[in-house]
């Protein structure tokens, strides 16, 4: 008895200390993210606005920007994501082998520590479209790294020593890690890649102190696997009912159903909900997987403590084009139709910009953010319609209607979407979203494939080219999420595959695939500055202030899907023989090489 | 079982070909690509290596066309459109100028690793992947045509009918739908 009471007493004490520690850590992180001098989470803040209040660099002096210092990562592959800045230290991660560097900002980026995990290189080819890594997360004195081999590692932020390791998935079954984790309260959330390998993907939450799995929520499967409450989880305000996912798949196909979760995660502390998107259903051949394939292609709102979904919205039921729904959810508080609302804005791969009420999941706006989008005539916004919220598919662009072994031509956008993972930014001053976009169309021919664990499970042939009459493959646009309208649009030679940064200085930054860092006027889109970095940019621009001076930083290092798809240049299969190879080849502009470039006004 | 049998069959094929093929130095990695024989719509050069047939009006044989589709589904994700290479993996229209048919089969079935301080190139083994191995000749024939400059970029505009033999092989190799 005595023994037991002592144990209980000690346990209670320990729990009290831990709880105290937790609440300190989470308050700390939320507060730290409000400090403009730092950049403590992947998208600057929980709302994922990628907006900085810093304004030392502004429209009047950005033209004088110069390189302050540079850092070679020593890795050649595609560099997505952005560094973090916590205190006087910058943390950045590289593509495979996923080196993490801690750099001393007080000494021009001197290396404080370097961590290099030991991973089996056989994971490399399992990673669809390059061995990218979209950055690390910070909380409670730890750095969290999501490795290529789908391990999650917590490192001591001071020393780089491993604190714990958790195995999230198995690359031999096609599960890999590319995404940046997000810490919410005492949990670190992490998604999975593997949509082209028939993975049943999930979002998982691990305890930040122990690395123990707290919950795992699959994108498709039985209710207890997808953490959906049939009575309480809603779509369009109505409960989804029992077996909402299972009913929409043939047989056991949900077990290899995809719906991957490798995009960015956002969080609303007041509503206590996390938001993210699930990706394409596997395979790319729609005929092989009849049904709506729920809940692939879905915007999810989940309780971060339990994982249970509050609401869902499936944007592209029964995907026929690989319009992977993983892009970021940006949370803003704005006045719309005369009413203050908590909004969620999402630029989907399918070419539609969605504005929703993030408390309820009510759909407010769904509009094309590239005028060339043609696969749908629009989303049914009639609340009384049985098709409410569904996109109306234009028959001639339906690869399902065309069937297997039929080449459906001229579909816009292409499978890489009007926008891929490259995140947009939002400025509360202009109330505009700054969106890096792709301007590419495709032919799509689905055909029969068979599933083998750990092997690609694709089932379609694609060819891609700019929309008829255009030669630019990208645009950088400003978007009004209240009206669903493009405010301005800057054409770019290649797809814009770099995350945007908006600042209180009235300047918006982004990178280009040729390697330019560009600064434009937030109001007009007018170019104010450009500098050609050593390699193409697929990283996200960030900013911080150190010792009283504002810096802008970006990773160069061409690669990712952009490097694969555009390296040799696109060809238009319908342009006749003479025009083949007529579009710019990225390999004529840039070559591999990971480098951080840090800018300042001298 | 089926997968294992497929690997075994593939390894046997590779071994048999190693023993029997003399590699010529002209044209491409497998020698002179000129079609010498048409067997049920599939073309072979004088060494007996699968090859392409492209008519003056641009009509390609079924296997070249099928190879384009399967390449684009299974290989493009790393090697880029039309075999032309990417920031991630080599230009195959260049590689196949020196890589022979037998070496090609060996690399696709067994994979390839080139990991050192300068490179982290890893190609997986596709030996158990029916979507690749059931169409391995198709993919080879397509890439051979690309490497020889006989076929341009993009989808071949016209192609011969799918031969009965190709359908039969597909059914037996891919298993029931």
Contacts of B120 in chain A (CB under 8 A): 76-77, 96-97, 121, 124, 131
pLDDT tops 70 at residue B2: no
Contacts of B128 in chain A (CB under 8 A): 452, 455
pLDDT value of residue A4: 41
Mean pLDDT of B73-95: 90
Whether residues A559 and B88 touch (CB distance < 8 A) is answered with: yes
Quick one: average pLDDT of B3-24? Answer: 42
Residues of B in contact with A124 (CB under 8 A): 120-122
How far does the CA of residue A78 sit from the closest CA of chain B (Å)? Answer: 8
Chain B residue numbers touching A457 (CB-CB < 8 A): 131
The chain-wide mean pLDDT, for chain B, equals 85
Residue B77 confidence (pLDDT): 86
Query: Between chains, do A568 and B84 touch, taking CB under 8 Å as contact?
Result: yes
Set of chain A residues whose Cβ sits within 8 Å of the Cβ of B3:
452
Q: How far apart are CA A257 and CA A63, in angstroms?
A: 49
* Lowest-confidence region among A95-99, A243-247, A575-579, B106-110: A575-579
**Cα–Cα distance measured from residue A100 to residue A120, given in angstroms and rounded to the nearest whole number:** 17
Nearest CB partner across the interface for A125, out of B68, B70, B123: B123
Give the residue-averaged pLDDT of A318-347: 97
Q: Which residues of B touch A (CB under 8 A)?
A: 3, 68-70, 72-74, 76-78, 80-82, 84-89, 91, 111, 113, 115, 120-124, 126, 128-132, 152-155, 174-175, 177
Q: Give the count of Cβ contacts less than 8 A between chain A and B.
A: 127
Contact criterion met (CB < 8 Å) for B82 and A568: yes
Q: pLDDT at position A574, please?
A: 67
- The reported pLDDT for the residue numbered A11 is 44
**Given an 8 Å threshold on Cβ–Cβ distance, is A455 in contact with B174?**
no
**Mean local confidence (pLDDT), A441-458:** 90
Is A15 a residue whose pLDDT tops 70? no
What pLDDT was estimated at residue A26? 57
Q: What is the per-residue pLDDT for A92?
A: 97
Among the partner-chain residues B72, B85, B177, the one whose CB lies closest to the CB of A462 is B72
**pLDDT band at residue A324, thresholds of 50, 70 and 90?**
very high
| Cα-to-chain-centroid distance, residue B96 | 10
pLDDT at A418 over 90: yes
Q: According to the model, what pLDDT value does residue A155 have?
A: 98
A571 to chain B: which residues are within 8 Å by CB?
Answer: 81-82, 153-154
- Averaged pLDDT of chain A: 93
Chain A residues within 8 A of B153 when measuring between CB atoms: 568, 571, 580-581
Percent of chain B whose pLDDT exceeds 90: 63
Closest chain A residue by Cα to residue B177: A448
Task: Chain B: give the shortest CA distance to residue A70, in Å.
Answer: 21
Point out the residue among B87, B115, B126 whose CB comes nearest to the CB of A559. B87
Query: What is the pLDDT confidence band of residue B93, given thresholds at 50, 70 and 90?
Result: very high
pLDDT at A581 over 70: no
pLDDT > 60? residue B25: no
Q: What is the rounded distance in angstroms from the CA atom of residue A98 to the CA atom of residue A379?
A: 41
Could A447 and B128 be called an inter-chain contact, meaning their C-beta atoms sit closer than 8 Å? no
Query: What does the pLDDT average to over A19-48?
Result: 82
pLDDT at A152: 98
pLDDT tops 70 at residue A17: no
User: Who has greater pLDDT, A267 or A448?
Assistant: A267
* Highest mean pLDDT, choosing among A310-319, A572-581, B115-124: A310-319
Q: Which helix (H) or strand (E) holds A214?
A: strand A213-218
Q: Which residue from B73, B113, B115 is facing A461, i.e. has the nearest CB?
A: B73
Q: Check whether A122 has a pLDDT greater than 80.
A: yes
- The residue-averaged pLDDT of A75-94 equals 96
Partner-chain contact A462 B77, CB within 8 Å? no
Least CB–CB distance from B77: residue in A455, A564, A573: A564
The catalytic position among A150, A186, A322, A348 is: A322
Question: Two tokens at B57?
Answer: 């009006």
User: Could you name the CATH architecture of A35-600?
Assistant: 8 Propeller (2.140)
Contact criterion met (CB < 8 Å) for B154 and A580: yes
Three-state secondary structure call for residue B151: coil
Answer yes or no: do B155 and A464 touch at CB < 8 A.
no
Query: By mean pLDDT, which of A156-165, A209-218, A457-466, A483-492 is the weakest?
Result: A457-466
**A25 — pLDDT class (breaks 50, 70, 90):** low
Partners of residue A126 in chain B, C-beta under 8 Å = 124
User: For residues A476 and A438, what is the distance between their CA atoms, to the nearest angstrom?
Assistant: 9
- B22 min Cα distance to partner chain A (Å): 32
**CB-based contact A568 B68, cutoff 8 Å:** no
SS3 state at A492? strand
Give me the percent of chain A exceeding a pLDDT of 70.
94
Would the CA dihedral through A563, A567, A573, A574 be positive or negative? positive
User: Band of the pLDDT at A575, cuts 50, 70, 90?
Assistant: low
The whole-angstrom distance between B70's CA and the closest CA on chain A is 7
Provide the Cα torsion B29, B32, B35, B41; round to 10°: -10
The partner residue sitting opposite A458, judged by closest CB among B74, B113, B154, is B74
Query: How confident is the model over A347-376, as pLDDT tens digits?
Result: 999 999 999 999 999 999 999 999 999 999
What pLDDT, on the 0 to 100 scale, is given for residue B22? 41
B149, two tokens: 């400059």
What secondary structure letter does DSSP report for A181?
A: P
Measured between beta carbons, the chain A residues lying within 8 angstroms of B87 are 78, 130, 558-559, 563-564, 567, 586-587, 592
A22-26, A107-111, A579-583: which has the highest mean pLDDT?
A: A107-111
pLDDT score, position A322:
95
pLDDT of residue B21 exceeding 80, the answer is no
pLDDT of residue A27: 62
Report the sign of the C-alpha dihedral through residues A311, A317, A319, A321, in that order: negative
Does the pLDDT value for residue A578 go beyond 90? no
A170 is catalytic: no
More confident residue, A128 or A89: A89
Residue A280 in contact with residue A296, Cβ under 8 Å? yes
pLDDT of the residue at A6: 41
Q: Do B120 and A121 touch (CB under 8 A)?
A: yes
Mean pLDDT lowest for which of A224-233, A414-423, A560-569?
A560-569
- A151-156/A142-146 β-pairing: antiparallel
Q: Please determine, for residue A14, whether its predicted confidence score (pLDDT) is greater than 70.
A: no
Q: Do A568 and B86 touch (CB under 8 A)?
A: yes
The distance of A565 to chain B (nearest Cα, Å) reads 6
Q: Which residue does chain B place closest to A575, by CA atoms?
A: B154
Q: What is the pLDDT of residue A462?
A: 86
* Shortest distance, CA B126 to any CA of chain A (angstroms): 8
- Under an 8 A CB cutoff, do B81 and A464 touch? yes
The number of angstroms, rounded, from the C-alpha of A318 to the middle of its chain's C-alpha atoms is 21
Domain positions in chain A: 35-600
Cα distances (Å, whole numbers) of residue A361 to A260, A313, B42, B85: 21, 7, 56, 43
pLDDT at A9: 41
Q: What is the mean pLDDT of residues B55-65?
A: 96
Is the confidence at residue B3, as pLDDT, over 60?
no
Which candidate in B65, B88, B108 is best for mutational testing of the A interface (most A CBs within 10 A)? B88
Confidence of residue B120 (pLDDT cuts 50, 70, 90): confident
The partner residue sitting opposite B113, judged by closest CB among A121, A452, A587, is: A121
Kindly tell me if the per-residue pLDDT of A588 is higher than 60.
yes
> Of the ranges A38-47, A176-185, A579-588, which one carries the lowest mean pLDDT score?
A579-588
Smallest CA–CA distance, residue A409 to chain B, in Å, is 12
Mean local confidence (pLDDT), A579-590 = 72
Residues 6+ apart with CB under 8 A from A390: A317, A379, A380
Distance of CA A122 to the CA centre of its chain: 25
Cβ-proximal residues to A478 (8 Å cutoff; 6+ apart), any chain = A430, A432, A433, A434, A435, A486, A487, A488, A489, A522, A525
pLDDT the model gives residue A2 = 42
């Amino acid at each position: 008895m005595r023994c037991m009471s002592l144990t209980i007493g000690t346990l209670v004490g320990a729990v009290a200390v831990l709880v105290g520690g937790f609440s300190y850590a989470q308050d700390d992180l939320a507060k730290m993210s409000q400090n403009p001098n730092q950049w403590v989470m992947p998208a600057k803040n929980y709302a994922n606005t990628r907006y900085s209040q810093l304004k030392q660099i502004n429209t009047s002096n950005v033209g004088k920007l110069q390189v302050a210092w540079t850092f070679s990562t020593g890795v050649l592959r595609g560099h997505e994501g952005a560094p973090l800045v916590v205190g006087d230290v910058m943390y950045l991660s590289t593509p495979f082998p996923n080196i993490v560097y801690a750099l001393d900002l007080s000494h021009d980026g001197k290396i404080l520590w370097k961590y290099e995990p030991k991973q089996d290189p056989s994971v490399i080819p399992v990673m669809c479209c390059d061995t990218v890594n979209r950055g690390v997360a910070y909380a409670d004195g730890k750095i969290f790294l999501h490795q290529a081999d789908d391990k999650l590692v917590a490192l001591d932020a001071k020393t780089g020593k491993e604190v714990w390791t958790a195995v999230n998935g198995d690359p031999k079954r096609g599960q890999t890690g590319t995404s940046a984790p997000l810490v919410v309260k005492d949990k670190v959330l992490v998604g999975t890649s593997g949509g082209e390998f028939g993975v049943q993907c999930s979002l998982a939450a691990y305890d930040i102190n122990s690395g123990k799995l707290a919950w795992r929520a699959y994108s498709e499967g039985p209710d207890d696997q997808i953490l959906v409450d049939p009575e309480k989880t809603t779509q369009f305000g109505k409960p989804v009912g029992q077996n909402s996912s299972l009913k929409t798949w043939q047989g056991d196909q949900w077990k290899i159903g995809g719906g991957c979760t490798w995009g960015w995660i956002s969080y609303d502390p007041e509503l206590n909900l996390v938001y993210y998107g699930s990706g394409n259903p596997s395979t790319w051949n729609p005929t092989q997987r009849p049904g709506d394939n729920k809940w692939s292609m879905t915007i999810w709102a989940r309780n971060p403590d339990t994982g249970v979904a509050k609401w869902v919205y499936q944007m592209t039921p029964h995907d026929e084009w690989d319009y992977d729904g993983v892009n970021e959810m940006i949370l803003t508080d704005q006045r719309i139709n005369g009413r203050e609302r908590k909004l969620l804005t999402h630029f989907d791969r399918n070419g539609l910009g969605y504005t929703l009420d993030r408390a309820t999941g009510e759909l407010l706006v769904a509009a094309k953010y590239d005028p060339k989008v043609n696969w749908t005539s629009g989303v049914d916004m009639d609340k009384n319609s049985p098709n409410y919220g569904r996109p109306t598919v234009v028959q001639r662009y339906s690869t399902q209607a065309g069937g297997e072994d039929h080449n459906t031509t001229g579909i816009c956008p292409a499978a890489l979407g009007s926008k891929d993972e490259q995140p947009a930014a939002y400025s509360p001053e202009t109330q505009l979203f700054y969106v890096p976009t792709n301007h590419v169309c495709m032919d799509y021919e689905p055909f029969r494939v068979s599933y083998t664990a750990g092997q690609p499970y694709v089932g379609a042939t694609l060819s891609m080219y700019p929309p008829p009459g255009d030669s630019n493959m990208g645009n950088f646009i400003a978007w009004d999420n209240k009206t669903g309208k493009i405010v301005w649009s800057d054409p770019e030679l290649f797809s814009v595959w770099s995350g945007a940064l908006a600042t209180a200085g009235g300047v918006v930054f982004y990178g280009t695939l040729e390697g330019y860092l560009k600064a434009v006027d937030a109001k007009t889109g007018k170019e104010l500055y450009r500098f050609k970095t050593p390699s193409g940019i697929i990283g996200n621009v960030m900013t911080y202030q150190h010792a009283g001076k504002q810096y802008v930083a970006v990773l160069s290092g061409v690669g990712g899907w952009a490097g694969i798809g555009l390296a040799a240049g696109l060809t238009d299969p319908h342009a006749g023989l003479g025009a083949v190879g007529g579009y710019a080849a990225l390999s004529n502009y840039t070559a591999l090489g990971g480098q951080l470039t840090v800018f300042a006004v001298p | 079982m089926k997968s294992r049998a497929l690997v075994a069959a593939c390894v046997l094929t590779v071994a048999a070909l190693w023993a029997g093929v003399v590699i010529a130095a002209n044209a491409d990695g497998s020698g002179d690509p000129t079609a010498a024989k048409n067997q049920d719509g599939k073309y072979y050069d004088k060494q007996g290596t699968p090859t392409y047939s492209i008519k003056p009006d641009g009509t390609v044989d079924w296997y070249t066309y099928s190879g384009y589709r399967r390449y684009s589904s299974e290989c493009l994700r790393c090697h880029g459109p039309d075999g032309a290479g990417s920031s991630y993996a080599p230009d195959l229209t260049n590689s196949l100028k020196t890589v022979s048919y037998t070496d090609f089969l060996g690399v696709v079935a067994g994979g390839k690793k080139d990991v050192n301080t300068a490179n982290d190139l890893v190609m997986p083994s596709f030996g158990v992947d029916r979507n690749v191995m059931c169409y391995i000749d198709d993919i080879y024939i397509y890439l051979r045509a690309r490497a020889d400059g006989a076929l341009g970029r993009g989808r071949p505009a016209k192609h011969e009918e799918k031969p009965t033999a190709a359908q039969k092989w597909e059914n037996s190799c891919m298993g029931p739908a």
